[in-house]
Structure 1
């Protein structure tokens, strides 16, 4: 889940006959956290049983404060939710079933933040739930207990920020070549219908990286090779446009045909184009209807000093 306007707390709420009542609030990161954290969010779903779908996304760090259940991943295996969990960038959509009411405080990580805060290659933790205690140590469970006692997103962000800054200070500096890599991937993915050769050419010109190094970094940061990234960005971009009302004929251009488009969108979002417009999962809808829920790797203001930790 991603995004809020700079300097604001964004609020989204839905209540419909078929939708489960929920609200979700967002707060962008600030100061030294900007290169590492895209946004914080607090979600509350007031229902006894919650079933839904989550599209592929970038890295997420979540504190489950109330409720729990199971997640079913693309390969068919299921895992039980944990009090503190890290979700790596996925390879396809996954589904969940939660016993509610459910309350969750989450952190959407940028690519740089994935490396500094989590520090594990994304392809090694893709399509699974990773125990936060395994990555962050026992202190994170005390933080979880503290967050459970708080009521507002603002208070939770204030509680977690010192922990994040300590983690960043202790991490190794992200190589400048990796920062350039993330920027080039973003520009490449945003170019419409990018080719793999265009990515390799841009990397070689600006960084001197060869194809194998680009492939390795794509797996390390995004859990898949460049071609998988291309498919993911193309499908999520198309899903966003369809949900926001764009004609199918306009959206279909980057795909071989309509069947190809439908299959790719369903693979990465769990929804067909028809469902995206008419009866979309309400939580998924929030991640598609606002451009600030960006599916590209990094959107960092130019004024931010990436050389600082």
Structure 2
């Protein structure tokens, strides 16, 4: 069966590596699309084609316009789109979200947000122009991603040095294992436990315990979505949960489905996004200290 969509990732320029985890170009040319978004980290995304709805509250929320942002979702977010649907985007680290928006992540969770309302009207003009050029065939997906990175770079603001260290340490803590020790996080931060919880929530959108729980489920689902699960990956998953029913419950809670490897169908785009480079980048932060 031919693939329904294409999803290509590009590394950001080295000077953006702390703020942008990956650039991506996405195409799905079906007329009607339904899937889920894991919402593990923030994004700035341009839609040359496609509009639809996010289904998280009592009423569907419209997704339409040239540029959107998301800070993250507590659980996987179901959405429907009228295709064709194309996207040019940047997956943002927590530092990248803060430096680009100046806003706490936790106050913007669980929704797609018109980008102009967060980062100013310049993004609307930029996105409208880029999307027109893309639709005309004047820009490839890679060229559009490069232009997006160039637009982002001069608009990143500096954060307090102590807060940057907190973000980087928390990111390393998250990547240290599938089930990181919360006490180890607090021991490595230069704040009281209460201050640490408040700041982690501000930059990551969730308090440390909830954050670790979500990432455990998303990363376990990511490993299970791989065509070949290594013995090391299988052992890591087994040690992170009490038993298989516990693992299935947690993945279903945070991802909305049972992994294909365990007998569930799984949405195709969601499966692909679980293999996103932004999750893979957690491996770069394994060592705490």
What is the distance in 1 between the residues matched to 2:14 and 2:63? 31
Aligned length: 274
Corresponding position: 1:273 with 2:259: yes
- Quick one: which of 164, 171, 183 aligns to 2:168? 183
C-alpha distance 276-78 of structure 1, shift in aligned 2 (>3 A): farther
What is the distance in 2 between the residues matched to 1:53 and 1:266? 12
What is the distance in 2 between the residues matched to 1:124 and 1:196? 23
Secondary structure of 2:33's aligned partner: strand
For 1:234, the equivalent position in structure 2 comes to 216
Secondary structure of 2:159's aligned partner: coil
What is the distance in 2 between the residues matched to 1:293 and 1:110? 8
What is the distance in 1 between the residues matched to 2:59 and 2:281? 27
Residues 40 and 215, structure 2, Cα contact 8 Å, conserved in 1? no
Q: CA deviation at 1:164?
A: 1.4
What is the distance in 1 between the residues matched to 2:106 and 2:273? 23
What is the distance in 2 between the residues matched to 1:76 and 1:93? 16
C-alpha distance 253-165 of structure 1, shift in aligned 2 (>3 A): closer
For 1:153, the equivalent position in structure 2 comes to 141
Query: Which range is displaced more, 77-86 or 104-113?
Result: 77-86
Cα deviation code 1:173-199 (max 9, x no counterpart) = 212212221222123222322222121
Q: CA deviation at 1:293?
A: 4.0
Counterparts of 1:162-241 in structure 2, within 5 Å, are: 162-168=150-156, 171=157, 173-192=158-177, 193-203=179-189, 208-241=190-223
Q: TM-score, normalised by structure 2?
A: 0.86
Residues 258 and 266, structure 2, Cα contact 8 Å, conserved in 1? no
Q: CA deviation at 1:263?
A: 1.5
C-alpha distance 129-159 of structure 1, shift in aligned 2 (>3 A): same
What is the distance in 1 between the residues matched to 2:266 and 2:191? 41
What is the distance in 2 between the residues matched to 1:249 and 1:33? 33
Residues 104 and 203, structure 2, Cα contact 8 Å, conserved in 1? yes
Query: Which range is displaced more, 247-256 or 235-244?
Result: 247-256
What is the distance in 2 between the residues matched to 1:131 and 1:288? 24
Cα RMSD of the aligned pairs, angstroms, is 2.4
Unaligned runs of 5+ residues in structure 1 are 1-14, 301-309
What is the distance in 2 between the residues matched to 1:261 and 1:125? 28
Q: TM-score, normalised by structure 1?
A: 0.81
For 1:61, the equivalent position in structure 2 comes to 44
Unaligned runs of 5+ residues in structure 2 are none
The structure richer in helix per residue is 2
